[in-house]
Amino acid sequence: AQKITQTQPGMFVQEKEAVTLDCTYDTSDQSYGLFWYKQPSSGEMIFLIYQGSYDEQNATEGRYSLNFQKARKSANLVISASQLGDSAMYFCAMREKNYGQNFVFGPGTRLSVLP
């Protein structure tokens, strides 16, 4: 079964607009972390934002915020004021305390920012 689901293979957004990238996850663990990474065409995975399962506040990092709905097991990424440089693949990932140190990644969403 998929542990991380990203239902949007591709998204378009107009420059300066906000966009939400969806992520749902599946775990029976009580302690886990949720991450979002950006992968531009160069291939490097760039860490964007982290949300711990026990964090009560939604995480924010500059233009990135995470809409964490624990009961729904969703962790959507919101990018405000999109820039052309935001065009990239975006991956949602989870790390579970009881399942080792490795990440499980979703299939990704390709975001294209239009001028």
Residues that bind another protein (CB under 8 A): 4, 35, 37, 42-47, 50, 91, 93, 100-108
Q: State which residue, 16 or 96, has the beta carbon closest to another protein.
A: 96
- Least CB distance to another protein at residue 50 (A): 7
- Least CB distance to another protein at residue 16 (A): 28
Location of structure tokens 């775990």? 27
- State the amino acid at position 51 in one-letter form: Q
* 3-state SS, residue 51: strand
10 neighbors 110 (Cβ within 8 angstroms): yes
CA distance 37 to 3: 16
4 neighbors 94 (Cβ within 8 angstroms): yes
Q: State which residue, 14 or 30, has the beta carbon closest to another protein.
A: 30
- Least CB distance to another protein at residue 106 (A): 5
- Least CB distance to another protein at residue 46 (A): 8
* 3-state SS, residue 85: helix
Q: State which residue, 92 or 113, has the beta carbon closest to another protein.
A: 92
Q: State which residue, 14 or 112, has the beta carbon closest to another protein.
A: 112
SS3 annotation, 61-82? ECCEEEEEECCCCEEEEEECCC
